[in-house]
């Protein structure tokens, strides 16, 4: 039997991802300086139409401050941080990759969004198969 989750996790594994992101961001702002969600958009809105698509979909969904959002297949958390910043809602991001979750937490802290978003390692295909914190 093929373990699809393990194959996906392996494919997207990115050892040292947070360190590489820190190095790349050093040109933008020194470590410890807050960044905005907009400053990170080119780095972490890596889907078709980027932040414009995130904005359009969020508006169509009617997200408001009382909304709780579950963001599956989260990667490094760009859309989750955008939703929390733009709408003031709470977002939980889940991804198979511990490296991506670690990077998402780092970027949330750099944007001052650690209170509006949480990230955890988990498998959206297997209900109840919580893997744990990165």
State pTM to two decimals: 0.84
Integer Cα distance of 118 and 113 in angstroms: 9
Integer Cα distance of 126 and 45 in angstroms: 26
| Domains identified in the chain and CATH numbers | 4-132 (3.40.50.150)
Distance of alpha carbon 21 from the chain centroid? 13
What are the two backbone dihedrals, phi and then psi, of residue 122, each rounded to the nearest 5 degrees?
A: -170, 165
pLDDT tens per residue across all 134 residues of the chain: 577 777 777 777 778 999 999 999 998 889 989 999 888 887 787 778 888 898 999 999 999 999 999 999 888 999 999 999 999 999 999 998 899 999 999 999 999 999 999 999 998 877 655 555 54
């Amino acid at each position: 039997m093929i373990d699809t989750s393990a194959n996906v996790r392996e494919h997207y594994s990115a050892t040292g991802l947070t360190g590489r992101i820190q190095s790349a961001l050093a040109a933008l702002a020194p470590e410890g300086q807050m960044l905005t969600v907009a400053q990170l958009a080119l780095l972490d809105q890596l889907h078709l139409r980027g932040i414009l698509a995130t904005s359009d979909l969020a508006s169509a969904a009617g997200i408001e401050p009382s909304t709780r959002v579950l963001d599956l297949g989260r990667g490094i958390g760009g859309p989750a941080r955008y939703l929390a910043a733009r709408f003031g809602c709470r977002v939980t991001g889940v991804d198979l990759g511990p490296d991506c979750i670690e990077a998402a937490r780092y970027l949330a802290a750099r944007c001052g969004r650690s209170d509006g978003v949480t990230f955890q390692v988990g498998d959206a295909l297997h209900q109840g198969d919580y893997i744990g914190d990165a």
